[in-house]
Structure 1
Amino acid sequence: MLRLYFNWNAVCAQKVVLCLTEKGIDWTPHHLVLSNFEQLEPWYLDINPAGLVPALVHDDVIVTESTVINEYLEDAFPEVQLRPTSPAARARMRWWTKQIDDVLHPSIRPISFAKFVTPRAARLSRADLDGIMARTPKKEIATLWRRVAEAPYSDQELADYLAKIRNLVETMETALSRSRWLAGDGVSLADLGMTPYFRRLVQLEKEAVWSDLPATCAWWDAIRARPSFAMFDRLRAQYAPADHPANPTA
């Protein structure tokens, strides 16, 4: 049995759902309402001690971290391949997935927190905030909650994070000027990994990050035309009514 613990609006979870959808893998969903801090419940911390989504449980195997999960799915379910065949192209794919983890995610997270979490965090009492801090295993997440509650990001700080994203997208533009997809002629885990972040930028009304880059615009159009992209609307329709727009982990 394949079970995914996820939240519909968490970008890292969306990476995995996209991979599952592209590969046509049957899976059992277990949705966590992050605004209720279900990811910090003891039963879930037994699955993922980091208190983050997603987490994949495949029979008796637990896999965490979205990039690692997607690589695991490639190995465990090889029928539909989302990794290039040549070593050079696979290296390019993994370079991009590393940029997503090391550059894009840390840059977009504060912007997401500023828009979606700040209003809620500001309403928390000091005791409630301290309680969240104490229960949160990942200290960078706890620090973000305290930051947006007590000293929200300045416009300049958010602009600096957006500039880092723009720099990476300009590198995308160069790559996509040479090939249709980030790692070559076929869609790969790199493209699937990037997709939820572009969608998040749309949610944040930051499409200007790529709107003047023709190859990146063409890539985004091609991504949205893929049948798997419809999963975003399906997840929203199914899970958003029970959830809160704030996403405390992505």
Structure 2
Amino acid sequence: MFLLPGTHSKQIRRMAPGSSVPVLDHDGEIVQGSAEILDYLERHFPEKSLTGDDANSKADALAWQQRLDDEAGPAIRTWAYHYLLQRPKQVAPMLTAQTSVYNRYLLRLGFSRVDEVMRDWMKINQKTADKAQQTLDSLLEELDAVYQTSGYLVGGGFTLADLTAASLLAPLFMPEKYPVPWPDTRRLPTPMKDWIAQKQPKLARVAEIYRQYR
């Protein structure tokens, strides 16, 4: 289920304690949050485990997952929305993907208010966007170094560490067959467009993993 940003809180709170997404409903059991959902799936479907073959691999995979959730997730959200909200025609289809025509109309009508609410709610401004970009610069350098060495973040195979990296970093390499329409990169704000182009070599392996394991 896709929900319009800024109006999703009430709908989510009917399902779960908080207002954050994603939310999993599995046989009536509600699990909220990416990390919590992955942990739930690991416990209920151990035959399809993504945490590695031994205790050390599991600890490393979980550590990467937590770090990426804590660092990459907020940084990408802050940085991307700071620039995308400057291009209403580019970001509107993303924000209303797979919602009703009425929702799309509402967003166009009240975009300035949506912009204001999202920036206030997520503390998005030039200063926080610059800090987020610095975080991403450092993180992408580290990820690329690990991938260049072993091909995967943990051990010699695909784990939830790679899954987390590929899913969170997807807005930076914009894979095909994504459930949300990507913006036209030619019409992005210049600082965003140039930085994304510059970082593609560092994203090559994680983009390959996304395509391979999607």
Q: TM-score, normalised by structure 2?
A: 0.68
Q: Over residues 167-222 of structure 1, what are the superposed CA-to-partner deviations in whole Å (9 max), with x where a residue is unaligned?
A: 11111122223322111211111111111222211356443464344xx5234223
Paired with 1:177 and 1:116, the residues of 2 have a C-alpha distance of 31
Q: What is the match of residue 113 of structure 2?
A: 124
* Native 8 Å contact 1:54 1:66 kept in 2: yes
* Native 8 Å contact 1:169 1:209 kept in 2: no
* Native 8 Å contact 1:110 1:144 kept in 2: no
Aligned pair 1:55/2:35, yes or no?
A: no
Paired with 2:206 and 2:21, the residues of 1 have a C-alpha distance of 27
Q: Which amino acid aligns with 1:224?
A: R
Paired with 1:175 and 1:113, the residues of 2 have a C-alpha distance of 28
The structural deviation recorded for 1:122 is 6.2
Q: Which amino acid aligns with 1:33?
A: L
What is the Cα-based RMSD across aligned positions, in Å? 2.9
Aligned pair 1:225/2:212, yes or no?
A: yes
Q: What is the match of residue 201 of structure 1?
A: 172
Q: What is the match of residue 245 of structure 1?
A: none
Gaps of 5+ in 2: 89-106, 175-191
Pick from 180, 193, 200 the counterpart of residue 211 of structure 1: 200
Aligned pair 1:172/2:146, yes or no?
A: no
Q: What is the match of residue 138 of structure 1?
A: none
Aligned positions of 1:59-74 closer than 5 A: 59-74=27-42
Aligned positions of 1:100-119 closer than 5 A: 100-117=68-85, 119=88
Aligned positions of 1:72-87 closer than 5 A: 72-87=40-55
Paired with 1:113 and 1:64, the residues of 2 have a C-alpha distance of 23
Residue 47 of structure 2 aligns to a residue whose secondary structure is coil
Paired with 2:26 and 2:166, the residues of 1 have a C-alpha distance of 25
| Count of residue pairs the alignment pairs up | 175
Alpha carbons of structure 1 residues 48 and 117: separation in structure 2 relative to 1, 3 Å: farther
Q: Over residues 33-86 of structure 1, what are the superposed CA-to-partner deviations in whole Å (9 max), with x where a residue is unaligned?
A: 22472x222x53132232122111222421111111011111111222211011
* Native 8 Å contact 2:173 2:207 kept in 1: no
Aligned pair 1:143/2:102, yes or no?
A: no
Q: Which amino acid aligns with 1:54?
A: P
Paired with 2:31 and 2:168, the residues of 1 have a C-alpha distance of 22
Q: Which amino acid aligns with 1:34?
A: L
Paired with 1:86 and 1:159, the residues of 2 have a C-alpha distance of 39
* Native 8 Å contact 2:12 2:20 kept in 1: no
Alpha carbons of structure 1 residues 207 and 40: separation in structure 2 relative to 1, 3 Å: same
Residue 24 of structure 2 aligns to a residue whose secondary structure is strand
Q: Percent identity?
A: 23
Alpha carbons of structure 1 residues 171 and 199: separation in structure 2 relative to 1, 3 Å: same
Residue 113 of structure 2 aligns to a residue whose secondary structure is coil
Q: TM-score, normalised by structure 1?
A: 0.60
Alpha carbons of structure 1 residues 197 and 88: separation in structure 2 relative to 1, 3 Å: same
Paired with 1:65 and 1:144, the residues of 2 have a C-alpha distance of 18
* Native 8 Å contact 2:61 2:154 kept in 1: yes
Alpha carbons of structure 1 residues 210 and 184: separation in structure 2 relative to 1, 3 Å: farther
Paired with 2:76 and 2:137, the residues of 1 have a C-alpha distance of 11
Pick from 133, 156, 162 the counterpart of residue 185 of structure 1: 156
